[in-house]
Amino acid sequence: MRILIAGGGDVGALIARRLTREGNEVTLVEKDEERCQRLEESLDARIVRGDAASYKTLEAAGLRDAGMLIAVTSSDEINLLACLIGQAEFGVRVKVARLRTHEVDHWRRICRDAGLHIDLIIHPESELAARLLPVLNLPGVSEIVEFAGGKVKLAGFTVERDSWLAGSTLEELVRRGPPKHSLVAMIFRGSQVIIPHGAERIQAEDHIYVITRSDDFANLLKFLGIQRQERLERVFILGGKQIGIRIAEELEKLKVAVKIFEQDAKRCQKMSRILTDTVVVNGDGGDAELLAEENIAGASAYLALTNHDEDNLIAALLARRLGARKVAALINRLNYLPLAQRLGISTTLSPRLVTVDRILQFVRKGVVLSVTTFREEEAEAIELMAVPGSPFLGKPLRDLKLPREAIVGAIVRPTGEAIVPRGDAVIEEGDRVIFFTLESSVSKLEKAFLAGKTGAR
């Protein structure tokens, strides 16, 4: 497919790299000359220097012949205008836009009423809030990812040095009697990513992901020794940008007592007008003395959500030392994600990765139902629909020629029955199949699973 990406920032570059690797013909439009030079050196894509809001630039970039426009510049206005030009002047069939404004719901309605058809509007702050809220009352859990409409859950957590899990092989773990439908799907060990098999031994400080049926999730947490906070009582938020406001709004709906710290007085005034029950503190929420004064000890959670990764990491570590039960940090630089885990900050939020996930899910073949990227794009969970003609149908899993770096984590039947399969399980037509694989094997896995399929987009 010919795809034009408007915006050569980190998100645009990540998407371009993945799409070109998967055989798409990608053109990327970027205004900054120095950035264009770096993109030329790092991407196998056509780079066009110019303004993505310019008709002439988009025409020169070949938008007329593109099957899809992905607008991810740093400006909401330019992203919307590029989609308008793509529709009105070039008849682009599929359009995707990233919007950061807190008025995103209004803009969805405005576009619809004005006849501007944008197939996917991505609001990273909403995506991040949806990922963060389910784990706030689970101090030991870094993230929870749902598949198949909530029938299956994947939970990530770090194995502490005193955990009974440390030193056990997966085979030994099974003999301890976990919920029947559960499986260790991935292990992150330092810079290494492991798609594990039975003889793999879990080590202290491994960050592992376990998949199970939603009905068995509570039993899985009990088996792993992870305790749930009965209720969220007090949450501290560092940073008054869009993501902080969005999460505060959601917590207000849950009747949680929220304090949000921001050093910009004008920003504090704006937040006070938007948030009804949240206490807005004009001060440095990374200052130990101020946090102690505001009673950080015993807080349900502390969320470091500024635009500065280093500040977020340091503040989260401080809040944990001062007694916050759960800490989370917003991380923009992907190479900081492993560092955060090594420092003991298991819950991290990446606006870039959630945006890339949503776009890849949309761009890929019609049978790809969801995509979730982990850490520095090193591994993926892919939810695929088993369609007629797939060579994987009707064969026991043990007989499938999957890449060594891939496993089937769960199968959900059309009836709604969810199973975490063993080697004798069989994939049937209409099943939703959740694979876990290294990023380097994604294309190989998709091609193998979809060979001979019919009805793809």
Residues 6+ apart with CB under 8 A from 297: 322, 323, 324
Q: Are residues 8 and 95 in the same domain?
A: yes
Q: Are residues 21 and 108 in the same domain?
A: yes
Q: Are residues 59 and 116 in the same domain?
A: yes
Higher pLDDT, 22 or 211: 211
Q: Are residues 315 and 392 in the same domain?
A: no
pLDDT digits (tens, 9 = 90+) for 38-47: 999 999 999 9
Last residue of a domain, one of 106, 122, 138: 122
Q: What is the DSSP string of 230-269?
A: SS--EEEEE--SHHHHHHHHHHHHTT-EEEEEES-HHHHH
Counting Cα atoms < 13 Å in the Cβ hemisphere of 4 gives 28
pLDDT digits (tens, 9 = 90+) for 242-293: 899 999 999 999 999 999 999 999 999 999 999 999 999 999 999 999 999 9
Range 424-453 average pLDDT: 83
| pLDDT tops 50 at residue 457 | no
Q: Find out whether 183 and 409 touch, Cβ atoms under 8 Å.
A: yes
Q: Are residues 24 and 116 in the same domain?
A: yes
Query: Does residue 150 sit within a domain?
Result: no
Higher pLDDT, 449 or 246: 246
* Arithmetic mean of pLDDT over the chain: 91
Q: Are residues 321 and 361 in the same domain?
A: no
Domain of 420: which CATH number? 3.30.70.1450
Give the model's pLDDT for residue 309: 95
Query: Does residue 30 sit within a domain?
Result: yes
Query: Does residue 85 sit within a domain?
Result: yes
Per-residue pLDDT band for 18 (boundaries 50, 70, 90) equals confident
Q: Are residues 116 and 6 in the same domain?
A: yes
Query: Does residue 104 sit within a domain?
Result: yes
Give the model's pLDDT for residue 456: 40
Last residue of a domain, one of 122, 152, 176: 122
Give the model's pLDDT for residue 169: 93
Give the model's pLDDT for residue 22: 76
pLDDT digits (tens, 9 = 90+) for 192-236: 899 998 789 999 989 999 999 999 999 999 999 888 887 889 999
Query: Does residue 279 sit within a domain?
Result: yes
Range 170-175 average pLDDT: 91
**Domain coverage including residue 6:** 2-122
Give the model's pLDDT for residue 453: 52
Q: For residues 49 and 33, give the distance between their C-alpha atoms in angstroms, rounded to a whole number.
A: 7
Q: Are residues 93 and 8 in the same domain?
A: yes
pLDDT digits (tens, 9 = 90+) for 47-104: 999 999 999 999 999 999 999 999 999 999 999 999 999 999 999 999 999 999 888 9
| pLDDT tops 60 at residue 452 | no
Q: For residues 364 and 92, give the distance between their C-alpha atoms in angstroms, rounded to a whole number.
A: 17
Q: Percent helix, strand and coil across the chain, each rounded to 5?
A: 35, 25, 35
Give the model's pLDDT for residue 455: 41
Range 310-322 average pLDDT: 96
Domain of 258: which CATH number? 3.40.50.720
* Lowest-confidence pick of 135-144, 145-154, 435-444: 435-444
pLDDT digits (tens, 9 = 90+) for 367-376: 778 888 888 7
Output the six-digit token pair for 28: 């990327």
Query: Does residue 39 sit within a domain?
Result: yes
| pLDDT tops 50 at residue 132 | yes
Range 28-37 average pLDDT: 96
| pLDDT tops 60 at residue 454 | no
What pTM was estimated for this model as a whole?
Answer: 0.85
Q: Are residues 319 and 361 in the same domain?
A: no
At 208, the amino acid letter reads I
Give the model's pLDDT for residue 405: 86
Query: Does residue 334 sit within a domain?
Result: no
**Neighbour tally for 30: CB within 10 Å:** 26
Query: Which three-class secondary structure state does DSSP give residue 125?
Result: helix
Query: Which three-class secondary structure state does DSSP give residue 368?
Result: strand
Range 294-308 average pLDDT: 95
Query: Does residue 344 sit within a domain?
Result: no
Q: Are residues 295 and 365 in the same domain?
A: no
Give the model's pLDDT for residue 366: 60
**Total number of domains constituting the chain:** 3
pLDDT digits (tens, 9 = 90+) for 322-381: 999 999 999 988 888 888 888 888 799 999 889 988 888 788 656 778 888 888 778 889
Last residue of a domain, one of 274, 302, 325: 325
Q: Are residues 293 and 373 in the same domain?
A: no
Q: Find out whether 406 and 195 touch, Cβ atoms under 8 Å.
A: yes
Q: Are residues 283 and 395 in the same domain?
A: no
